[in-house]
Structure 1
Amino acid sequence: MTLTIATLLPSLQNTNGDAENAAVLAQRATWAGLDARVVAVESRDDLPDHVDAVVIGSGTDAALEAARTRLLELHDELRRWGTEGVPILAVGTGWELLSWGIELPDGTNIEGLGILPGRAVPHREGRITGDLVVAERGSRELLVGFENHARAYVGAEGSPLGRVRSGQGNAQGSGQEGVVMGEVIGTHLHGPVLAKNPVLADRMLRAMAERAGLDYSPGEQTLVVDGYADDARRAHLAAAGVDTESVVASSVVAPSSANEA
């Protein structure tokens, strides 16, 4: 069986390389001895017969309307995938488009697809950029990445991805980052996040494999690459002034699942 990872609208939603999270999943699956492929889905016509995971990257505000129009064609599939437990990772504006809606500075609103709770509203303090460190909810894992967003995310305080250790996250002073509903994750973490945080990638892969009746265990090459990721993470944490002793090595599986995040 071939695991299929769909990356949605990569021509519009890949400003920070976040669409490449799909390639991270596929490569790690291959290193584990599993067959995997990435399918770029620009419209409904590109949909494969079966999907095991979905990635939606971040795009520019100029592309919001076009991206929303195309995602609306996939609304029924996105809702079904979320209900069935298909892992979905949405980053930046890709996440905002799955929310209740996006409020723009001129007061106009873009209606979201309503897959995830909450909505995006303009930051009073302006654009937030910088390193972001998050203590994942339900585990000791610290997630790292770069945040670059002009909007706060409100209305989903009960289901964050984690607590902010350095940076701003969903809103200045909120102390929270991201949102999780079942196997659907929304986050501001750019990087791509799965390359910088292999534990999160492996958690998605285990969920994919379990649904497909397969076993997933990181391959030998994966452990080599994860050593490089750990070095990069430790440098990131040191630069952010976060205690590196609290880091869980990316080659060790954290005890929680995405459902517990």
Structure 2
Amino acid sequence: MTATSLQRPFTVVSILPRLLDTNGDAGNARVLAQRIRWSGHDARVVDVHSTADLPEHVDAVAIGSGTDAALVSARDGLRSLVEELRIWSNSGVPVLAVGTGWELLSWGIDLADGTVVEGLGLVAGHAVPRTTRATDDIMVASKYGRLVGFENHARDYVGAEASPLGRVLHGTGNGERESGPQIEGLTMGEVFCTHLHGPVLARNPTLADHLLGAAFTRHGLEYSRGPVAASVDETAQAARNLVAVRLGQPVE
């Protein structure tokens, strides 16, 4: 299949960006779309607030993080899209969920006051309260390279031990474990969940390119980052190295 045989733009869906963008994480959709353009293909971002906004074709999905005040509203918005989310996740459409967006895809969220916000049950595990909020740089060793970001969460995540995104080199991630290394995030097929803000894909283009590789493969295409992306990625690497030096970790 050739680069022109898709006959339409790649479509990246940003889910509930009015409610789930407190750390700029809705920007992950724009990162994916721009990297597609740099690879020589057309791309667009579609903001989806309800089923009425759904495009005919979806090639990648980004879900950001929100405030606890908006948890129920965001959960209800996601619940209206649960069948589409299930179809996407089961058919290999790459999905990235960050922070509370991830927690709402889980079995549920235990709040500090003892109440529970029921999740969509699309990924294993659930969120539980921390005694102190995790707010710090985080560095993670993963199969997609070393990932860096900023974490800002009041809950740990339990139940993702079998399929983490990576191992924590610095920071909190999913929380302390009784045995084994601290882990961060969750993966399930081409669904990726993480605490990393930044937006994570701008700071970690190797993860972005993995998601795009999955999106392209679904259409029989091979993804290759363009020369502009290669130049931009040097800046991202320099930024990661600055974090590494600050944290006493080796530079790349």
Could you tell me the TM-score, scaled by structure 1's length?
0.91
The alignment status of 1:149 with 2:153, answered yes or no, reads yes
Match of 2:138 in 1: 132
Tell me which residue corresponds to 1:200: 207
| CA distance in 1: counterparts of 2:204 and 2:35, whole angstroms | 12
Q: State the 1:213 CA deviation.
A: 2.2
Amino acid at match of 2:54: L
How many Å apart are 1:242 and its aligned residue? 1.2
Q: Which residue identity is paired with 1:144?
A: V
Q: 1:96 aligns with which of 100, 103, 109?
A: 103
TM-score, reference length from structure 2: 0.94
Pairing of 1:181-260 with structure 2 (within 5 A):
181-244=188-251, 247=252
User: Within the alignment, does 1:171 sit opposite 2:178 as a pair?
Assistant: no
Picking from 45, 50, 57, the partner of 2:57 is 50
Cα displacement (A) at 1:214: 2.0
In the alignment, residue 167 of structure 1 is paired with which amino acid? G
After TM superposition, the runs of 4+ consecutive aligned structure 1 residues lying more than 3 A away are none
For the residue of structure 1 that corresponds to 2:26, the secondary structure is: helix
Q: Sequence identity, in percent?
A: 58
Aligned equivalent of 1:39, options 40, 46, 54? 46
Amino acid at match of 1:75: V
Aligned to 1:162: 166
Paired residue for 2:3?
none
Question: What is the deviation of 1:215?
Answer: 2.3
1:3 aligns with 2:10: yes
Distance 1:189 1:62 in 2: 20
Match of 2:79 among 69, 72, 75: 72
Asked if 1:116 corresponds to 2:123, the answer is: yes
Gaps of 5+ in 1: 248-261
Q: What secondary structure sits across from 1:185 in the alignment?
A: strand
Distance 1:205 1:65 in 2: 31
* SS across alignment from 2:93: coil
Q: Cα RMSD over matched residues?
A: 1.0
> Residue in 2 aligned with 1:250?
none
